[in-house]
Amino acid sequence: MSLAPTPESTKHPDALRVATVNVNGIRAAYRRGMQEWLAARDVDILCLQEVRAPDEIVRDLLGDSWHIVHAEAAAKGRAGVAIASRTAPIATREHIGDAYFATAGRWVEADFEFDGAKVTVASAYVHSGEAGSPQQEDKYRFLDLMTARLTDLRGTRDHALVVGDLNVGHTTLDIRNWKGNLKKAGFLPEERAYFDHFFSESVGWVDVHRTLAGEMDGPYTWWSWRGKAYDNDAGWRIDYHLATPELAASALHAVVDRAHSWEARFSDHAPLVVDYKL
């Protein structure tokens, strides 16, 4: 299997290519062909969510060519986020918040220096959080912490990038069947308000993918495994690149690496790949 060349797969020589993908179990993703996808894309920084595997297995699968920082969840086989990079980070941090989320496997950060510019990258996995469940409460607690962290990063870094599965669709453009999901976790008004706030002047982050894609439906990044959701593109845009304004302005293009006929769908999420020219 190989990936056909696409305009987006031709990377500008100076560009930094950052991919985020919820792999829904990295072992299953590799069984389904993730390695072929990765080999065909010249990714510099790979942000993973729902790794769901012990650290040793993650390193075995990705191989020696990556520097890896991996925040495992205390619960075996659950959550887990990682940042794999071709160059070594100068610092890493494995969670946000207090002890409650210390071993949640939902947040990891790495600081890089590229040609003198400092860039902080975070891989985030927000709770799915069924409405009314205890997990929904955790989701709000986590989004509160994330708000604080975004504010802090915005104030203290040259450039910062928070990518990952944020498990919320921001606007009606972001969910195919938005009318049917107004009371469902992932499109609740209270959840969406967090994103309004992220992109407000006071917090000041940019939704890179939406900015590049413009006011179109989607492009979606997640489709249920059930039925024909994928074939019908009945998806949700819940995976994001959030960037500080200057970094966001440097984004050349964004691509959702939706599987085509000649390649495999290796997760229920598709990779979201953005090239930045710092």
Partner DNA sequence: CCTTTAACG
Partner DNA sequence: CGTTTAAGG
Which residues of this chain interact with DNA, rule CB under 7 A? 24-28, 31-32, 50, 52-54, 76-79, 127-130, 135, 167, 224-227, 268
Q: Least separation, in Å, of the C-beta of 200 and DNA? A: 27
Query: What is the 3-state secondary structure of the chain?
Result: CCCCCCHHHCCCCCCEEEEEEECCCHHHHHHCCHHHHHHHCCCCEEEEECCCCCHHHHHHHHCCCCEEEEECCCCCCCCCEEEEECCCCCEEECCCCCHHHCCCCCEEEEEEEECCEEEEEEEEECCCCCCCCHHHHHHHHHHHHHHHHHHHHHHHCCEEEEEEECCCCCCHHHECCCHHHCCCCCCCHHHHHHHHHHCCCCCCCEEHHHHHHCCCCCCCCECCCCCCCCCCCCCECCEEEEECHHHHHCEEEEEECCCCCCCCCCCCECCEEEEECC
| 167 annotated ligand-binding residue | yes
Residue 205 Cβ vs DNA, minimum distance, rounded to whole Å:
23
165 is in an annotated binding site: yes
Name which of 198 and 236 has its Cβ closer to DNA.
236
240 classed as catalytic: no
Nearest approach, Cβ of 212 to DNA (angstroms)? 26
Q: Is 42 a catalytic residue?
A: no
CB of 84 to DNA, least distance (A): 17
Q: Is 158 a catalytic residue?
A: no
Catalytic residue chosen out of the listed positions 127, 159, 165, 239: 165
Q: Which is nearer to DNA, 16 or 26 (CB)?
A: 26
Residue 50 labelled as part of a binding site: yes
| 231 assigned binding-site residue | no
Q: What residue numbers does the annotated binding site cover?
A: 22, 50, 165, 167, 268-269
Q: What residue numbers does the annotated binding site for Mg(2+) cover?
A: 22, 50, 165, 167, 268-269
